[in-house]
């Protein structure tokens, strides 16, 4: 399939089938929480796993995930495809991802607008890309390759960034909108990433959100961030995923839901992971906001019609 065959003007006109998650709170699945989740009276809306943790063929991880998948919707989030890499998509990695997707039939599959590999080297970071025509062509082609192999649309997540490139010629929001239009992918809006990048670069997060194509968003991520300082002593935020969601991020989330309607919303907590009741509390805060603001949102009717 060529790139033009993917091209679309809205998330709803993609040629790929849709596997929507419920518009409720979700949480990143940690093995230490599995027994508590299965025994909990609170039935969380969905759970998300990092695909790379399940690329083996068997053993305890797959037995545990199979038990979860039998009772909950699942989202698969990739961290290693290196979509922005100039070296192309690793075909072996893509095949391993396809096996995970085919085995568990998740509601959503998502990846980051970032790169993390060069030649034979792999980095334990999601590194930024310049926003220009060359990168646009490359990322669009890579998403087309991924979607063709998976036979489904993926969601692309906006990054948290700490530096900007001199050869960037487009805004991040224009760049992401054009990738989605050309490739037919959906978007995953990470609101903590918006707040982290806005603080680090001196943007206004609300201006970013006003420019972001909310009509293409199919999932939201929330997470906690850490505060540090740069070499000049200025505030530097780190996308740490090691603490509760910050109040400023909750406020932005309420604004997004009031405009975009109820959307599946994941609480990420990947470092210094707390006991399940702490993460459960964060998820319940999400559900309360969705219940309060989703029905009166400006774009809420789009979900009711799906």
245-281 confidence digits (pLDDT tens): 999 999 999 999 999 999 999 999 999 999 999 999 9
238 has pLDDT over 70 = yes
What is the pLDDT, as a whole number, of residue 11?
Answer: 42
Of 72-81, 120-129, 156-165, 187-196, give the lowest mean pLDDT range: 120-129
* 79-106: average pLDDT: 94
Higher pLDDT, 115 or 48: 48
| 24-70: pLDDT as tens digits | 999 999 999 999 999 999 999 999 999 999 999 889 999 999 999 99
Is the confidence at residue 216, as pLDDT, over 50? yes
Q: Would you say residue 300 has pLDDT above 80?
A: no
Query: What letter does residue 107 receive in the DSSP assignment?
Result: S
Question: What confidence category does residue 120 fall into, taking pLDDT thresholds of 50, 70 and 90?
Answer: low
From the list 122, 186, 130, the residue with the least C-alpha distance to 161 is 130
Return the exposure string of 119-152: e unless at least 16 CB atoms fall within 10 Å of the residue's CB, then b. eeeeeeebbbbbbeeebbebbbbbbbbbbeebeb
Helices (runs of H) and strands (runs of E) counted in the chain: 11, 12
174 exposure class (CB count in 10 Å sphere: 0-12, 13-18, 19+)? middle
Contact of 34 with 68, CB cutoff 8 Å: yes
Within the chain, where are the H helices? Answer: 3-6, 34-39, 60-69, 91-104, 133-150, 172-183, 191-201, 205-211, 247-260, 276-293, 301-304
Mean pLDDT rounded to a whole number for the chain: 90
pLDDT of residue 171: 96
User: If DSSP codes are grouped into helix, strand and coil, which group holds residue 165?
Assistant: coil
C-alpha to C-alpha distance for 277 and 287, rounded to whole angstroms: 15
**Backbone conformation region of residue 96, classed left if phi is above 0, alpha if psi is from -120 to 50, else beta:** alpha
CATH number listed for the domain at residues 25-293: 3.20.20.150
Q: Is the pLDDT of residue 210 over 60?
A: yes
Ranges of each domain in the chain: 25-293
**Degrees, nearest 5: CA angle 98-99-100:** 90
Cα–Cα distance between 25 and 70 in angstroms, integer?
A: 18
Range 189-213 average pLDDT: 97
Percent residues over pLDDT 70 in the chain:
89
Cβ contacts of 100 within 8 Å, gap of 6 or more: 51, 54, 55, 76
């Amino acid at each position: 399939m060529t790139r033009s065959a993917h091209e679309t003007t809205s998330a709803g006109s993609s040629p790929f089938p849709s596997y929507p998650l419920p518009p409720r709170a979700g949480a990143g699945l940690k093995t230490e929480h599995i027994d508590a989740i299965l025994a909990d009276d609170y039935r969380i809306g969905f759970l998300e796993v990092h695909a790379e943790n399940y690329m083996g063929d068997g053993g305890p991880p797959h037995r545990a995930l199979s038990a979860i998948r039998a009772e909950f919707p699942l989202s698969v989030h990739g961290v290693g495809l290196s979509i922005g890499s100039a070296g192309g998509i690793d075909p072996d990695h893509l095949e391993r991802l396809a096996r995970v997707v085919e085995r568990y039939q998740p509601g959503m599959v998502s990846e980051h607008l970032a790169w993390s590999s060069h030649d034979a080297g792999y980095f334990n970071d999601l590194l930024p890309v310049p926003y220009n025509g060359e990168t646009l062509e490359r990322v669009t082609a890579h998403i087309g390759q991924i979607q063709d192999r998976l036979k489904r649309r993926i969601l692309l997540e906006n990054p948290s960034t700490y530096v900007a490139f001199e050869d960037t010629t487009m805004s991040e929001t224009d760049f992401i909108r054009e990738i989605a239009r050309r490739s037919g992918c959906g978007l995953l809006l990470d609101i903590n990433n918006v707040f982290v990048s806005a603080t680090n670069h001196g943007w206004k997060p609300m201006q970013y959100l006003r420019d972001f194509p909310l009509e293409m968003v199919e999932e939201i991520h929330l997470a906690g961030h850490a505060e540090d300082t740069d070499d000049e002593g200025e505030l530097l935020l780190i996308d740490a995923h090691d603490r509760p969601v910050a109040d400023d991020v909750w406020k932005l989330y309420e604004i997004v839901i009031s405009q975009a309607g109820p959307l599946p919303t994941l609480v990420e907590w990947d470092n210094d992971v707390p006991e399940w009741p702490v993460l459960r509390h964060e998820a319940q805060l999400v559900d309360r906001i969705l219940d309060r603001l989703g029905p009166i949102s400006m774009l809420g009717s789009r979900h009711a019609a799906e």
